[in-house]
Structure 1
Amino acid sequence: MKSKLLALFLLCCGPFVHAQIPTNGLLYNFKFDGTPTSEAGTNTFTSNSTISYTSNRFGNANRAIAKVYGQLISTNLTNLPTVNESRSVSVWIKPSEVNADNIIFTYGTGSGTQIYGASFNPTTVYNFTYSSNVSASSTMQVNGWKHVVVTYNTTNSQSSIYINGVLVNQGNIGLNTFATNFYLGSLLNNPTSSHFSGAYDDMLIYNRALTAAEVTLIYNDGIPPANVTVAEYNFNNTYNNINGNTPFSSNAGTSFVADRNGNAASALNIVNSGSTASIPNLPYGNAARTISFWAKVNTMQSPYNMTFSYGQSSTSNACGGSFRDNRVEFFGFANNTFGSSTNTVNTWYYFTYVYDGTNAKIYKNGQLLSTAQLQWNTLNNNDIFKLGIGVGGEVSFNGAIDDLKVYNYALQDTQISNLYNYNSLTAPQLPIVNTITKKPAAINATLYAELNGNGSAITSVVVKYGTISNALTSQQNAISISGNYFGAIINGLLENTIYYYKLEITNAEGTTTTTTDSFTTGTKQTIGEYSFDATYASLAANQPFVSNAGTGFTSDRNGNANAALNLTNGNTLAQITGLPIDGSTRTVSLWVKYNAVPNGAYPFSYGGILTDMAFACVNYSNALDFVSFSNGFSVPQTVPANEWNHFVFTYDGTTVRIYRNGTLIGSNAFNLFTAFDDNTFYLGSFTGSGTFNGAIDDLKIYNYPITAAEVTGLYVNNSLTNQNFENQSSLRVYPNPAQDVITIEGQYPIQMVEVSTLQGQLVLTSNQNQIDVSGLDSGMYIIKTVDAERNVFVNKVIVK
Structure 2
Amino acid sequence: MYFNNNIIIKTNQTLKTMTKKTQMMFVFIFALFCNVNAQAQEAKELSEGLIGYWPFDGGSTTAKDHSPNGNNGTVNGDPEYIEGHSGKAGDLAINFDGEDDSVTTEVSLLNDLEELTLSFWMNMPEQQTGNRKGLIGQNDAVEYGMISPTSMQYWTPAGNISVDFGPTTDDWTHVAVVVNSEGFKVYAGGDIIGETSGGGPVSSADTFNMGGDGVFDATGNNFLGSLDDVAVYNVALSDQDIADLASGAAVPILRQVPLIPDLIAYWPFDGDLADKVGNNDGEAQGTEDISYDDGQFGQGIALDGVDQFVQTPVENEETFDFQDETGFSISAWYRVDEFTKSWQALIAKGEGNRWRIHRRGGEGQLTGNGGSGDVPGATGDVNDGEIHHLVLVSDPENEQVRFYADGELVSEGGAPAIQSNDNPMMIGENPDARGRTWGGLIDDVGVFNRPITDDEVALIYNGGNGNPLMVGGVIIPKPKVKLAGSMSGFSVELTDDENGSTVDAAGVSATFDGVALEVTTAKADGVTTFSYETTGLLEAGTEHFVVLTVKDTEGATHTIEKSFKVKPYTVVDAGSRAGDSLKGESGIVATITQISSGQNVGSLHGNNTANAEKAFNGWGNDPETEEAYLNEADPDSFEGWSYYPVLVPVVNFDQDGGVQGNFNSNNGYDDEYIPNIPGWGDSTDGIVGEFTALLELKKGAYKLGVNSDDGFKATIGANFTDL
The TM-score with structure 2 as length reference comes to 0.38
**Higher relative contact order, structure no. (Cα contacts within 8 Å, ≥ 6 residues apart):** 2
The TM-score with structure 1 as length reference comes to 0.35
Higher strand proportion: 1
